């Protein structure tokens, strides 16, 4: 069994449990919010005889903070769960735009440590002929090289068709040292040789040219 398959099975299972944890927290917070509302109504109905809970507003704020974190945690957990399921060995077509969205969400913290931000620009699905994991791995290799080479900057990433070729273009920040200096090869071979991604380097950008789908435009 491959390490990645083991990790994906465990990750899928644990993220499921984490989502249950967050759901129970959300329910508890929701119930507290309902009880606070009820308490306020009871206090109003008593025409001032029964004073309201003095920390009503403070509690509402804290419950709001909990709900915000539950949403954040659910998003993180779902992202990790999607990554785990990307290990399935489907050959493609894969939507490169969707995978880019997942990747840049997942590596946001890794990039932030170097104060690098990736800004994704897509306008719909871009089908590529490789597995989801190969697409993720290829884009991560470029993103990781940029994170290691850069700091304090934003990198725009465009996922689009260039004629019949699906491309992922990393637009480097002005004053950057050019794409060729980040130590990437001109061709990436992934998935045990099944997938080849060509890299075009220019001063202001790195373009990844993915294998196009036989019936291009039909992602399924």
For a second copy, the binding residues (CB under 8 A) are: 1-4, 6-11, 13-18, 21-22, 24-25, 28-29, 31-32, 35-36, 38-39, 42, 50-51, 53-55, 58-59, 62-63, 65-66, 69-70, 72-73, 76-77, 79-80, 83, 87, 106-107, 109-110, 133, 136-137, 140-141, 144
Please, what is the minimum distance in Å from the beta carbon of residue 201 to a second copy?
Answer: 19
Shorter beta-carbon distance to a second copy: residue 28 or 218? 28
- The answer to whether the beta carbons of residues 142 and 184 sit under 8 Å apart is yes
Please, what is the minimum distance in Å from the beta carbon of residue 130 to a second copy?
Answer: 13
d(C-alpha 165, C-alpha 122), whole Å: 15
Strand partners, 168: 159, 208
77 CB-side CA count, 13 A: 17
Shorter beta-carbon distance to a second copy: residue 42 or 203? 42
Shorter beta-carbon distance to a second copy: residue 19 or 216? 19
Shorter beta-carbon distance to a second copy: residue 67 or 216? 67
Cis? peptide before 209, omega within 30° of 0: no
**Angular region, 106: left φ>0, alpha ψ -120 to 50, beta rest:** alpha
Shorter beta-carbon distance to a second copy: residue 103 or 169? 103
Please, what is the minimum distance in Å from the beta carbon of residue 83 to a second copy?
Answer: 6
The candidate with the shortest Cα–Cα distance to 172, out of 206, 144, 121, is: 206
Strand partners, 215: none
């Amino acid at each position: 069994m491959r390490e990645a398959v083991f990790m994906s099975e465990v990750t899928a299972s644990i993220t499921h449990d984490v989502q249950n944890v967050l759901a129970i927290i959300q329910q508890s917070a929701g119930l507290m919010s309902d009880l606070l509302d009820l308490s306020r109504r009871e206090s109003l109905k008593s025409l001032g005889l029964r004073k309201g809970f003095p920390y009503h507003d403070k509690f509402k704020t804290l419950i709001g903070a909990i709900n915000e974190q539950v949403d954040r945690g659910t998003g993180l957990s779902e992202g990790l769960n999607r990554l785990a399921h990307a290990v399935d060995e489907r050959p493609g077509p894969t939507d490169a735009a969707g995978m880019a969205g997942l990747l840049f969400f997942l590596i946001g913290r890794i990039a932030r440590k170097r104060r690098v931000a990736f800004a994704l620009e897509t306008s719909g699905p871009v089908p590529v002929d490789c597995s989801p994991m190969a697409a993720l791995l290829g884009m991560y290799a470029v993103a990781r090289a940029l994170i290691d080479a850069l700091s304090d900057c934003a990198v725009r990433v465009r996922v689009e068709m260039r004629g019949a070729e699906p491309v992922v273009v990393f637009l480097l920040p002005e004053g950057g040292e050019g794409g060729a200096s980040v130590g990437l090869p001109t061709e990436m071979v992934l998935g045990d040789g099944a997938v080849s991604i060509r890299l075009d380097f220019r001063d202001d950008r790195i373009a990844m040219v993915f294998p196009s789908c036989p019936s291009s435009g039909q992602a399924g």
